[in-house]
């Protein structure tokens, strides 16, 4: 294409100079950090599936009993040990109780325990990890040695002893299970804080006169949220499983309250003849764990700056 | 191909598919390289110079990149080569060195082995022979205590030394073309000077063609025979180094030269600064990419991309100011003077 | 010059870092100089010379191993908590890396407003107006006030960093390689901005960079550092016209000039050898191992910074 070939109008060669508006613009569409994370998360089909699955499970747990119309404690020997049917969606147990409703109630307890333990673990873990990372020196040393010590204690024995001593109330269970769980979180938070501390913007905040509290709340915590969220999604199913295990050895939640673990434990004895008693609570544990892990993986990828396209 | 011409591209274009849309990183770039000469691709970040080089080397991610045009190397179009065929070209005929030697070298492999590797692959040498030659290469790039260095790992070397190792690796199989992508940007000034001297020397000895990618005008002045100034994926101006430096024919080149302080400028005169930022390559401007920031822009500049106008013996500028009907009031003399062949 | 003209006094500044296993990195080793009110002092040197550590130590962001830094008469490292807070209003810093110097989770408004909040300068509507004015001053669009750093280009982020430093109305700003990560044409924009701000707000700058041409352009006086030591200090014009220290001369000859004919005939002073480590600096002059004009005394005795001409200080045995 030579300059000759084009027939050009007279006014084409009028000077217009610099175009102020388009010369200083912003490149990409406005996306907050979390909006971008969500966008990346959404593109990951498995992660999205996990999220939907979890939502469905939680919805079922709360709405289920209303839908089924049954009472989870109602005993009726005449309908005991029934296979799943239109009347009893998950069948009945050996005392004639509707398993579906029991699974819903049990699920609430299981997830509640999972969330409570995770919350305690997070708070302790973040506090200790931040303290170790920020103060360094002997404080850091002390906390890390404590972490090593506690981390090496036989988790199960501690939990067993504690529940035997403190009883089997919800409080005792949560206490026992979270007591030794903070170690991993502490290490991770500490690592993240050590890295963030070196960032220029943290130093800039100090140079502006910000005090330690402000730096933690406005600079360090928000940038640690990412890994904390991933930790949460990976921990909740761990605690649910932990409680299930305790129930298996007779130390879990106390009747008449029930959990998936308690239901599974109970159902395990009847495995030969009424497999549905074991099957459904186990299925719920598996599905919930799966959904949390899928979400956790998806979050982890969505948050990874190197995978950003 | 003419005698001495070893590489040429025609209408090379590269686009990438991203979540936000298609980014047109390179939009119709032509250049050629002869034996023994140094061509500089100059421009600021985002202008497409590195992408152009990687397109020639076949190093762009195939799932996301769309490449158009031709890259002629000894009569063959490299863009049509398969990955295997390109692997035989890379390292043997065309080599590339990168900006950050730390990430370009394998941290778990001894330095000597890394140099020897390409000889084993491309020339079928035995490891023992290759290592012997690798030692020679290290000495050639002036690394002291070469024998000991052979068995060291990249982290044990300084930045300047790592860069030399990378040069040794690149030249091990005696390629015809060396592509150097910002080879000294990460180095200190004094080490930079030595590294550039080394490249110049090796080029002379081997009659190699060098494509130098950089944004540093000083490095360009010191190293190159010819320059292509790139902006927003297109070539703004091309010519011999002297032509482009002493009589730039494109407002962007002109502005670029004036915005760098030399060792005699004082702060009484403000640096010439170009308003604004480079355009978004998701939606590249219709006409000349520099129009929005050009103080001499005319209406046509925003609507039609300018064609190339020969302004000097070998100098071509892509700018509407060279059109006979252009409004040249206030435009600096040097941008308009013609020498050698006439326009159109 | 009257001593009341001196804003910053650096005396025998030493900053050593421990590198594990008993090793010590002597990042800054006995450096002394003054910065006068209203001037721009440039600090030049290659990587590892200690110029950034020096700048940060002046602001109290690093503790001192030895020596003293005085700001307007106050000892920077002996300030109480309130005094320190006052000090942060008067002395600020602009960082090199526009990507790591802004908190990715904070909006422009929050970033610039942090200093205003910390010092309780103004609130609410008034604060927002002040932030908008700052955006105008640095040449950014007011409408972008609620955007996040990752939405801006490097040059724009650097302007946000400058606005952040200016928000507290400082007298003294340490510019730590503010242009190194930017494109050439953007460097010019930022440089012009910094100079304009200096004129309008009567600022004093410590301008740290490895880009000698830029330092010469911006500074009134320039100090050259090598491996933790100050080897030459003089006015900007003098340094480039008649530098005295062999390192300065080698540095100047190493800069490629954007002029092909000059480059072709240039005689480069090439230095031999590698930069010695700051962990085990050799005895005597640190530059001796690479100096083309070395003599026996250089490896025995460390040269002291002396005034050889009016206002021109050099630390070199050959010269003094």
Q: Does pLDDT of C94 surpass 90?
A: yes
**Among B residues 124-143, those touching chain A with beta carbons less than 8 Å apart:** none
- Contact A200/C at CB under 8 A: yes
- Contact C136/A at CB under 8 A: no
Q: Distances from the Cα of B52 to the Cαs of B11, B46, B47, B316, in angstroms?
A: 11, 11, 10, 19
Residue B274's closest chain C neighbor by CA? C185
Determine whether the interchain pair C114/A30 forms a contact, defined as Cβ–Cβ distance below 8 Å: no
Measured between beta carbons, which residues in chain A are less than 8 angstroms from residue B326? Answer: 13
From A13, A20, A27, residue closest to B298, measured CB to CB: A13
**The two three-digit tokens of residue B155, written as one number:** 């982290």
Residue B285's closest chain A neighbor by CA? A22
Q: How does residue B339 score in pLDDT terms, banded at 50, 70 and 90?
A: low
Determine whether the interchain pair B222/C218 forms a contact, defined as Cβ–Cβ distance below 8 Å: no
Measured between beta carbons, which residues in chain B are less than 8 angstroms from residue C218? Answer: 267
- Contact B241/C at CB under 8 A: yes
**The two three-digit tokens of residue A286, written as one number:** 């598996």
- pLDDT score recorded for residue A147: 92
Measured between beta carbons, which residues in chain C are less than 8 angstroms from residue B182? Answer: none
In this structure, what are the phi and psi dihedrals at residue C24, rounded to the nearest 5 degrees?
-125, 135
Chain segment B254-269, per-residue pLDDT in tens: 998 888 887 777 777 7
Share of chain C above pLDDT 90, in %: 51
- pLDDT score recorded for residue A299: 86
Q: Does pLDDT of C112 surpass 90?
A: yes
From C185, C255, C262, residue closest to B259, measured CB to CB: C185
From A24, A206, A223, residue closest to C141, measured CB to CB: A24
Determine whether the interchain pair C254/B262 forms a contact, defined as Cβ–Cβ distance below 8 Å: no
Chain segment C171-187, per-residue pLDDT in tens: 999 999 998 888 888 88
Among A5-14, B141-150, C38-47, C83-92, which stretch is predicted with the lowest mean pLDDT?
A5-14
Q: What distance in Å separates residue A305's CA from the closest CA in chain B?
A: 15
Contacts of C320 (CB under 8 A, 6+ apart): C303, C304, C306, C308, C314
- pLDDT score recorded for residue A5: 53
Q: How does residue A251 score in pLDDT terms, banded at 50, 70 and 90?
A: confident
C165, C134 in Cβ contact below 8 A? no
User: Rg (Cα) of chain A, in Å, rounded?
Assistant: 28
Q: Does pLDDT of B239 surpass 90?
A: yes
**The two three-digit tokens of residue B23, written as one number:** 């980014």
Measured between beta carbons, which residues in chain B are less than 8 angstroms from residue C189? Answer: 273-275
Rounded to an integer, what distance in angstroms lies between the CA atom of residue B221 and that of residue B218? Answer: 5
Among A168-172, A208-212, B197-201, C50-54, which stretch is predicted with the lowest mean pLDDT?
A168-172
Determine whether the interchain pair B276/A29 forms a contact, defined as Cβ–Cβ distance below 8 Å: no
ipTM for the complex shown: 0.87
Give the number of beta-carbon pairs within 8 Å between A and B: 79
Chain A contact probe: residue of C55, C99, C105 with most A CBs at under 10 A:
C105
Measured between beta carbons, which residues in chain A are less than 8 angstroms from residue C147? Answer: 26, 30
State the helix-helix crossing angle for A170-179 and A155-166, rounded to 10 degrees: 150
Chain segment B26-41, per-residue pLDDT in tens: 999 999 999 999 999 9
Rounded to an integer, what distance in angstroms lies between the CA atom of residue B13 and that of residue B66? Answer: 8
Buried b (16+ CB within 10 A) or exposed e, C175-186: bbbbbebbbbbb
Q: How does residue A22 score in pLDDT terms, banded at 50, 70 and 90?
A: low
Interface partners of B (3+ CB pairs, < 8 Å)?
A: A, C
What is chain B's mean pLDDT, rounded? 88
- pLDDT score recorded for residue A278: 86
Q: What distance in Å separates residue B73's CA from the closest CA in chain C?
A: 29
- Contact B75/A at CB under 8 A: no
Q: Does pLDDT of B145 surpass 50?
A: yes
- pLDDT score recorded for residue C4: 57
Chain segment B7-30, per-residue pLDDT in tens: 999 999 999 988 778 899 999 999
Q: What distance in Å separates residue A41's CA from the closest CA in chain B?
A: 13
Among A135-144, A234-243, B330-339, which stretch is predicted with the lowest mean pLDDT?
B330-339
Chain segment C1-13, per-residue pLDDT in tens: 444 589 999 999 9
- Contact A211/B at CB under 8 A: no
Q: What distance in Å separates residue B255's CA from the closest CA in chain A?
A: 13
- pLDDT score recorded for residue A257: 81
The residues with which C66 forms a beta bridge, in sequence order, are C14
Measured between beta carbons, which residues in chain A are less than 8 angstroms from residue B318? Answer: none
Chain segment B44-87, per-residue pLDDT in tens: 888 999 999 999 998 988 878 889 999 999 888 999 888 889 88
From B18, B325, B344, residue closest to A13, measured CB to CB: B325
Determine whether the interchain pair C212/B220 forms a contact, defined as Cβ–Cβ distance below 8 Å: no
Q: Is A4 exposed, middle or buried (0-12, 13-18, 19+ CB in 10 A)?
A: exposed
Residue A203's closest chain C neighbor by CA? C61
From C153, C189, C256, residue closest to B218, measured CB to CB: C256
Q: What distance in Å separates residue B17's CA from the closest CA in chain A?
A: 9
Q: What distance in Å separates residue C264's CA from the closest CA in chain B?
A: 7
**Among B residues 196-235, those touching chain C with beta carbons less than 8 Å apart:** 196-197, 215-222
Per DSSP, the residues of A64-108 read HHHHH---TT---GGGTTPPS-SSSTT-B-TT--BHHHHHHHHHH
Chain segment A89-134, per-residue pLDDT in tens: 888 877 888 888 888 888 888 888 899 999 999 999 988 998 898 8
- pLDDT score recorded for residue B342: 45
Residue A224's closest chain C neighbor by CA? C105
Residue B20's closest chain A neighbor by CA? A28
- Strand B76-77's sheet: what is its strand order? B21-34, B5-18, B65-73, B76-77
Reference A103, options A272, A276, A292, A258; nearest CA is A258
What is chain C's mean pLDDT, rounded? 89
Residue C248's closest chain B neighbor by CA? B190
Residue C148's closest chain A neighbor by CA? A32
- Contact A203/C at CB under 8 A: yes
Q: Is B98 exposed, middle or buried (0-12, 13-18, 19+ CB in 10 A)?
A: buried
Chain B contact probe: residue of C96, C156, C254, C256 with most B CBs at under 10 A:
C256
Chain segment B169-212, per-residue pLDDT in tens: 999 888 999 999 998 887 888 888 888 989 999 999 999 999 99
A84, A90 in Cβ contact below 8 A? yes
Mean pLDDT for the stretch of residues C213-234: 92
3-state secondary structure of C201: helix
Q: Is B266 exposed, middle or buried (0-12, 13-18, 19+ CB in 10 A)?
A: exposed
Chain segment A189-216, per-residue pLDDT in tens: 999 999 998 899 999 999 999 988 888 8
Mean pLDDT for the stretch of residues C276-294: 81
From A26, A205, A223, residue closest to C144, measured CB to CB: A26
Mean pLDDT for the stretch of residues A233-260: 84
Q: If you average pLDDT over each of B193-197, B337-341, C29-33, which comes out highest?
A: C29-33
Q: What distance in Å separates residue A115's CA from the closest CA in chain B?
A: 35
- Contact A276/C at CB under 8 A: no
> Three-state secondary structure along chain B?
CCCCEEEEEEEEEEEEEECCEEEEEEEEEEEEEECCCEEEEECCCCCCHHHHHHHHHCCCCCCCEEEEEEEEECCEEHHHCCHHHHHHHECCCEEEECCCHHHHCCCCCCHHHHHHHHHHHHHCCCHHHHHHHHHHHHHHCCCCCHHHHHCCCHHHCCHHHHHHHHHHHHHCCCCCEEEEECCCCCCCHHHHHHHHHHHHHHHHHHCCEEEEEECCHHHHHHHCCEEEEEECCEEEEEEEHHHHHHCCCCHHHHHHHHCCCCCCCCCCCCCCCCCCCCCCCCCCCCCCCCHHHCCCCEHHHHCCCCCEEECCCCCEEECHHHCCCCCCCCCCHHHHCCCCCCCC
3-state secondary structure of A138: helix
Chain segment A41-69, per-residue pLDDT in tens: 888 888 899 999 999 999 988 888 888 77
Q: How does residue B341 score in pLDDT terms, banded at 50, 70 and 90?
A: very low
Q: Distances from the Cα of C161 to the Cαs of C95, C180, C214, in angstroms?
A: 7, 14, 19
- Contact C280/A at CB under 8 A: no
Mean pLDDT for the stretch of residues B116-138: 89
From C59, C97, C147, residue closest to A207, measured CB to CB: C59
Determine whether the interchain pair C88/A207 forms a contact, defined as Cβ–Cβ distance below 8 Å: yes
Mean pLDDT for the stretch of residues A250-278: 81
Q: Does pLDDT of B250 surpass 80?
A: yes
Determine whether the interchain pair B218/C216 forms a contact, defined as Cβ–Cβ distance below 8 Å: no
Rounded to an integer, what distance in angstroms lies between the CA atom of residue A72 and that of residue A221? Answer: 42
**The two three-digit tokens of residue C165, written as one number:** 């430093």
Reference B29, options B5, B10, B4, B48; nearest CA is B10
From B277, B297, B323, residue closest to A17, measured CB to CB: B297
- Contact C183/B at CB under 8 A: yes
- pLDDT score recorded for residue A15: 80
């Amino acid at each position: 294409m030579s300059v000759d070939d084009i027939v050009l109008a007279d006014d084409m060669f009028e000077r217009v100079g610099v175009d102020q508006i388009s010369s200083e613009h912003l490149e990409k569409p406005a996306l907050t950090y979390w909006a971008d994370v969500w966008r990346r998360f959404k593109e990951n089909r498995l992660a999205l599936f996990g999220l939907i699955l979890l939502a469905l499970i939680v919805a079922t747990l709360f709405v289920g009993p209303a839908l089924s119309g049954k009472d989870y404690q109602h005993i009726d020997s005449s309908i005991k040990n029934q296979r799943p049917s239109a009347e009893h969606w998950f069948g009945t147990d050996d005392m004639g109780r509707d398993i579906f409703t029991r699974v819903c109630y049990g699920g609430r307890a299981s997830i509640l325990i999972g969330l409570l333990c995770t919350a305690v673990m997070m708070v302790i873990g973040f506090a200790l990890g931040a303290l170790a990372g920020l103060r360094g020196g002997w404080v850091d040393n002390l906390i890390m040695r404590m972490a090593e010590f506690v981390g090496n204690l036989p988790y199960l024995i501690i939990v067993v002893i504690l529940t035997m001593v403190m009883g089997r109330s919800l409080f005792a269970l949560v206490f026992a299970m979270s007591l030794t769980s903070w170690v991993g979180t502490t290490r991770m938070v500490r690592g993240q804080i050590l890295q963030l501390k070196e960032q220029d913007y943290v130093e800039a905040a100090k140079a502006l006169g910000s005090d330690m509290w402000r730096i933690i709340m406005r600079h360090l915590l928000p940038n640690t949220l990412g890994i904390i969220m991933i930790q949460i999604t990976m921990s909740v199913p761990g605690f649910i499983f932990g409680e299930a295990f305790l129930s298996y050895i007779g130390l879990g939640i106390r009747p008449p309250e029930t959990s998936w673990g308690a239901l599974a434990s109970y159902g395990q004895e009847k495995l030969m003849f009424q497999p549905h008693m074991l099957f459904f609570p186990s299925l719920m544990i598996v599905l919930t764990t799966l959904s949390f892990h899928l979400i956790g993986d998806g979050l982890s990828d969505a948050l990874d700056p190197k995978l950003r396209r | 191909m003419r005698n001495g011409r070893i590489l040429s591209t025609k209408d090379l274009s590269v686009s990438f598919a991203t979540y936000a849309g298609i980014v047109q990183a390179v939009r119709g770039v032509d250049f050629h390289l002869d034996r023994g000469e140094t061509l500089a691709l100059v421009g600021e970040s985002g202008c497409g110079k590195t992408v152009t080089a990687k397109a020639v080397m076949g190093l762009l991610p195939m799932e996301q990149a769309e490449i158009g045009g031709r890259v002629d190397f000894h009569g063959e179009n490299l863009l049509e080569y398969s990955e295997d065929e390109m692997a035989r070209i890379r390292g043997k005929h065309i080599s590339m060195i990168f900006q950050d030697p730390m990430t370009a070298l394998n941290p778990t492999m001894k330095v000597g082995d890394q140099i020897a590797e390409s000889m084993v692959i491309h020339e079928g040498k035995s490891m023992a022979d290759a290592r012997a030659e690798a030692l020679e290469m290290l000495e050639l790039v002036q690394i002291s205590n070469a024998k000991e260095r052979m068995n060291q790992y990249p982290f044990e070397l300084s930045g300047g030394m790592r860069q030399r190792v990378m040069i040794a690796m690149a030249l091990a199989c005696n390629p015809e073309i060396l592509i150097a992508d910002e080879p000294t940007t990460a180095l200190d000034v004094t080490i930079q000077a030595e590294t550039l001297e080394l490249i110049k020397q090796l080029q002379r000895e081997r009659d190699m063609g060098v494509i130098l990618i950089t944004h540093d005008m000083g490095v360009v002045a010191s190293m190159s025979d010819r320059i292509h100034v790139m902006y927003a994926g297109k070539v703004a101006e091309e010519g011999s180094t002297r032509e482009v430096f002493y009589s730039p024919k494109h407002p962007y080149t002109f502005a670029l030269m004036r915005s760098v302080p030399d060792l005699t400028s004082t702060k009484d005169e403000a640096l010439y600064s170009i308003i604004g930022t480079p355009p978004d390559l998701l939606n590249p401007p219709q006409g000349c990419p520099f129009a929005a920031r050009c103080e001499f822009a005319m209406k046509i500049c925003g609507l039609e991309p300018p064609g190339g106008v020969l302004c000097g013996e070998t100098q071509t500028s892509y700018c509407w100011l060279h059109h006979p009907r252009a409004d040249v009031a206030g435009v600096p003399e040097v941008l308009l003077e013609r020498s050698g062949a006439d326009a159109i | 010059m009257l001593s009341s003209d001196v804003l910053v006094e650096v005396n025998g500044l030493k900053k050593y870092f421990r590198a594990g296993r008993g090793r010590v990195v002597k990042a800054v080793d006995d450096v002394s100089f003054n910065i006068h009110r209203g001037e721009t002092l440039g600090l030049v040197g290659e990587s590892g010379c200690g110029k950034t550590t020096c700048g940060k130590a002046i602001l109290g962001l690093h503790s001192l191993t030895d020596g003293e830094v005085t700001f307007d008469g106050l000892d920077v490292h002996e300030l109480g908590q309130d005094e320190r807070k006052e000090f942060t209003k008067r002395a600020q810093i602009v960082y090199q890396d526009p990507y790591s110097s802004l908190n990715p989770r904070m909006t422009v408004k929050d970033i610039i407003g942090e200093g205003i909040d910390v010092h309780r300068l103004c609130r609410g509507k008034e604060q927002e107006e002040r932030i908008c004015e700052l955006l105008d001053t640095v040449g950014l669009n007011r409408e972008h006030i609620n955007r996040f750093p990752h939405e801006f280009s490097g040059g724009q982020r650097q302007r946000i960093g400058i606005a952040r430093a200016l928000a507290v109305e400082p007298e003294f700003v340490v510019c730590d390689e503010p242009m190194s990560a930017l494109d050439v044409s953007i460097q010019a924009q930022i440089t012009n901005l910094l100079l304009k701000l200096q004129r309008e707000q009567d600022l004093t700058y410590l301008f740290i960079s490895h880009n000698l041409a830029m330092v010469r352009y911006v500074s009134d006086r320039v100090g050259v550092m090598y491996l933790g030591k100050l080897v030459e200090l003089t006015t900007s014009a003098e340094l480039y016209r008649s530098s005295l220290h062999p390192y300065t001369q080698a540095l100047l000859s190493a800069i490629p000039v954007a002029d092909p004919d000059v480059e072709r005939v240039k005689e480069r002073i090439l230095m031999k050898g590698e930069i010695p480590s700051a962990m085990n600096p050799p005895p005597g002059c640190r530059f001796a191992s690479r100096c083309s004009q070395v003599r026996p005394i250089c490896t025995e005795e460390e040269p002291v910074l002396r005034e050889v001409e009016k206002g021109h200080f050099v630390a070199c045995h050959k010269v003094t």
